[in-house]
Amino acid sequence: MAEATLQSQTRADEAFDCLQTAIVTGELAPGEKIGEVELCSRFNLTRGPLREALGRLESRGLLVRRPHAGVKVVSVSAAELLELYRIREVMEGLAARQAAERMTDEEIAELQATLDSHEKMIEQAQGQAYYQAEGDYDFHHRIATGSRNAKLAQMLLGDLYYMVRMYRYRLSTSAGRPHLALREHRRIVEAIAQRDGELAEFLMKRHINAARINIEKKIEEGVLTI
Amino acid sequence: MAEATLQSQTRADEAFDCLQTAIVTGELAPGEKIGEVELCSRFNLTRGPLREALGRLESRGLLVRRPHAGVKVVSVSAAELLELYRIREVMEGLAARQAAERMTDEEIAELQATLDSHEKMIEQAQGQAYYQAEGDYDFHHRIATGSRNAKLAQMLLGDLYYMVRMYRYRLSTSAGRPHLALREHRRIVEAIAQRDGELAEFLMKRHINAARINIEKKIEEGVLTI
DNA sequence: GATCCATTTATTGTCAACAAAATACCCGAG
DNA sequence: CTCGGGTATTTTGTTGACAATAAATGGATC
């Protein structure tokens, strides 16, 4: 059962965190219709804060709400997942460009260190899928915040990533190409370190486009039925 | 005083609409600290639905909330406004490309008709600033929905445009270059009509970039003090 | 036997009172 | 006169009960 990760400041925040993680991890399955009272007993909440959290989640597109009819978890089709990647492509391209212009040298060093640890994890090849997925998330997370573009980071971290991660958990790993992805990550960081924003944008766009094509291929193969 | 535009389905929706328009039109000034009870009396609501609406608005970045300390309307700096345009550039570029691939012939015809009416309004030159601003919004709105990318449209229409419009109202018009903007719009539609997605993306990006530079110039001139 | 309508039931939407927390104010000491 | 601490007040956060609406069920008619 999903709990509030850290001591949330308010009950509504707690509810929001719980529900979000529950949705992302698949504990609450897509398309599942959920009653308010059921959720209350499940997460030890009362309906006031819960409703506030539901509103926030609806506004973020993680669930849909019909008046007087109830709440159900959003179910994203394969086509919509691919559309998400198209958005990621342009937005993270921008993030990479701005990160190249604005990240501090310390942040870049940390980013490189992150990749080093990812490399070790892949070499050890144990639970590589999970770590790869998490590592990938970590990498993109850092670049989003490194862009110093508050709204861009908010949209990426607050909207898109949660929807993508929702599928990551279900697919175990969407990438399945750890070495290749790592190499692409390395190149992007290199461009950022050289403060070459244009190249960083290009490489990031190509990186995400490759991931999208990979998913597309899996869908065609029937590995991925959504 | 802002009212619910149409009969909203629920009190919370009503509250959301009221507050959103109030913020966008400047009725609630940026940085203004607002109390819950005050809002309730002002919009004839009770605190339950209001709090739900506040949560949604916070999640969209239109206001910030500190636990136990209250709610205040977000105040976006000039720098942040420009960052918003950077995001628009890439996202609307994508929207234009996908619109060129996916819009129906009817939609394209409507889009052209829209521009015709805009042209007339500009020629009449009465209240041109207002109409230009609204017309511009209308144009971009149609392309966003025409992209057939649900999440992209949601992010543009639900997040970015409201923040941009917040400033539109305060600046009367951010463009101030109606003829030029119209010509750029024409070119974009032309590319869409020819189903040339790549060109449509390029032209849209350039169009928004020009708007951004125009604002930047105004800020430097001191016309625009945020 | 199937369909339409009314009633019932369960669920959501709303409200007003209660509890907790942060700000503001006042008083005293340095 | 200024600064620190403590109390008072205001405002937010939470709760549980009440009202309204939609789905489900059962009965009657075609």
Q: pLDDT by residue (tens digit) across A58-111?
A: 998 899 998 888 899 998 888 999 999 999 999 999 999 999 999 999 999 999
Q: Does B91 touch chain A (CB under 8 A)?
A: yes
DSSP H helix total and E strand total for chain A? 10, 3
| Of B162, B151, B137, the residue nearest A156 (C-alpha) | B151
Say what percent of chain A tops pLDDT 70: 87
Q: Do B152 and A86 touch (CB under 8 A)?
A: yes
**Whole-angstrom Cα distance, residue A104 to residue B175?**
34
Q: Of A25-29, A108-112, A175-179, B170-174, which range is least confident?
A: B170-174
Residue A99 is predicted with a pLDDT of 98
Does the pLDDT value for residue B211 go beyond 80? yes
Quickly tell me which residue has 């400033």 as its tokens: B167
Residues A175-198: tens digit of each pLDDT: 557 788 889 999 999 999 999 999
The answer to ipTM > 0.85 is yes
- CA-based diameter of chain B, in Å? 56
Q: Is a pLDDT exceeding 80 seen at residue A140?
A: yes
Between the CA of residue A71 and those of B52, B166, B184, what are the distances in Å?
15, 31, 43
**B116 CA to chain A: closest CA distance, Å?**
31
Q: For A2-16, what is the mean pLDDT?
A: 69
Is a pLDDT exceeding 60 seen at residue B75? yes
Instruction: Classify residue B34 by its DSSP letter.
Output: E
pLDDT of residue A25: 87
Q: Examine the pLDDT at B111 and tell me if it is beyond 80.
A: yes
Instruction: Name the residue of chain B whose CA is nearest to A12's CA.
Output: B55
Interatomic separation, CA of residue A222 and C1' of nucleotide D8, rounded (Å):
68
- Band (pLDDT 50/70/90 cuts) for residue B167 is confident
Nearest Cα to Cα of residue B160 among B224, B100, B76, B218? B76
Whole-number Å distance, CA B8 to C1' D24? 27
Closest CA to A9 of B68, B162, B174, B171: B68
Shortest CA–C1' contact from B68: which nucleotide?
Answer: D12
Please state, in angstroms and as integers, the Cα–Cα distance from residue B161 to each residue in A84, A89, B20, B87, B141, following that order.
Answer: 19, 21, 12, 11, 9
User: pLDDT tier at B118 (50, 70, 90 boundaries)?
Assistant: confident
Task: Please identify residues in chain B, positions 23-52, with a C-beta within 7 angstroms of any atom of strand D.
Answer: 34-37, 47-48, 51
> What's the gap in Å between the CA of B126 and the closest CA on chain A?
35
What's the whole-number mean pLDDT along residues A19-33? 89
Closest by CA to B121, choosing from B179, B184, B164, B180, is: B179
Q: Taking all residues of chain B, what is their mean pLDDT, rounded to a whole number?
A: 87
Q: For residue B190, what are its two tokens? A: 């032309």
The whole-number Å distance from A34's CA to C5's C1' is 29
* pLDDT > 70 in chain B, percent: 87
Give the nucleotide nearest to B66 (CA→C1').
D12
d(CA B87, CA B44): 36
Joined together, the tokens standing for residue B151 give: 């999440």
Is the pLDDT at B174 greater than 80, yes or no? Answer: no
pLDDT over 80 (residue B210): yes
pLDDT value of residue B125: 65
Q: Give the pLDDT band of residue A3 (cuts 50, 70, 90).
A: very low
Domains in chain A (CATH in brackets) are: 11-73 (1.10.10.10), 78-221 (1.20.120.530)
The verdict on a CB contact (< 8 Å) between A80 and B150 is yes
Q: Tell me, what's the pLDDT at B188?
A: 98
Find residues 43-82 of chain B whose CB sits inside 8 Å of chain A. 48, 51-53, 55-56, 58-61, 67, 80
Q: Identify the pLDDT of residue A7.
A: 55
For the ranges A10-24, A128-142, B150-164, B204-218, the lowest mean pLDDT is seen at A128-142
B9, B17, B59, B209: best to mutate for the A interface, most A CBs within 10 A: B59
Strand partners, A73: A63
Residue of B nearest to A77 (CA): B150
Percent of chain A residues past pLDDT 90, beyond the cut: 54
Q: Distance between CA A8 and CA A10 in Å, rounded? A: 6
**Better-predicted residue by pLDDT, A13 or A6:** A13
Local confidence band at B4 (pLDDT 50, 70, 90 cut-offs)? very low
Is the confidence at residue A6, as pLDDT, over 50? no
